Amino acid sequence: MADIAHVIGGDLQLGSSGDLATVDQAAWTEQRVLRRLLTNPGAYIWQLDYGAGLAALIGATVSVQQIAALIRSQLALETAVRQQPEPVITITAGMAGEAFATISYQDATTGALASIALPGAG
């Protein structure tokens, strides 16, 4: 069964025939990773401890190591991400205090390598 194309914070998308668009395995996994990283803990009423809450860190004083540890701990809970080899998380600090994250991981179902770049926030 196909999943609906929906990136957190965005609208549902229409497919070529006018119905709801669906996604393949790679896009489905990326949607899950983004949803987990951007959902604030307590916001998902069926699982109150779900989510990293990265967006809630905007304006907070947080070290690069803390951000990387938060992302790593959440990816360890995500069944769509293969844990061996471990995901690679690279955080770089910008000149204005923002942090940029690049996450490279392997899809647990297909084994395909994938990468997500998260824009900085400061």
Q: What was the pLDDT predicted at 28?
A: 93
Read off the pTM.
0.88
**Regarding the domain delimited by 3-121, which CATH topology (the fold level of the hierarchy) does it fall under?**
Nuclear Transport Factor 2; Chain: A, (3.10.450)
pLDDT of the residue at 60: 85
Mode of pairing for the β-strands spanning 88-93 and 99-107? antiparallel
Do you know the residue count of the chain?
Answer: 122
Tens-of-pLDDT digits for all 122 residues of the chain? Answer: 578 888 888 899 899 999 999 999 999 999 999 999 999 999 989 999 999 999 888 888 888 899 999 999 999 999 999 999 999 999 998 888 888 999 999 999 999 999 999 876 54
Residue 112, classed as helix, strand or coil, is coil
User: In the prediction, which pLDDT does 1 show?
Assistant: 54
Structure tokens at 87: 């995901």
pLDDT at 43: 93
Q: Which amino acid is at 105?
A: Y
Maximum CA pair distance of the chain?
47
* CB burial readout 76-114, b (16+ within 10 A) else e: eebebbbeeeebebebeeeeeeebbbebebbbeeeeeeb
- pLDDT at position 120 is 63
Residue given tokens 């999943």 in the structure block: 3
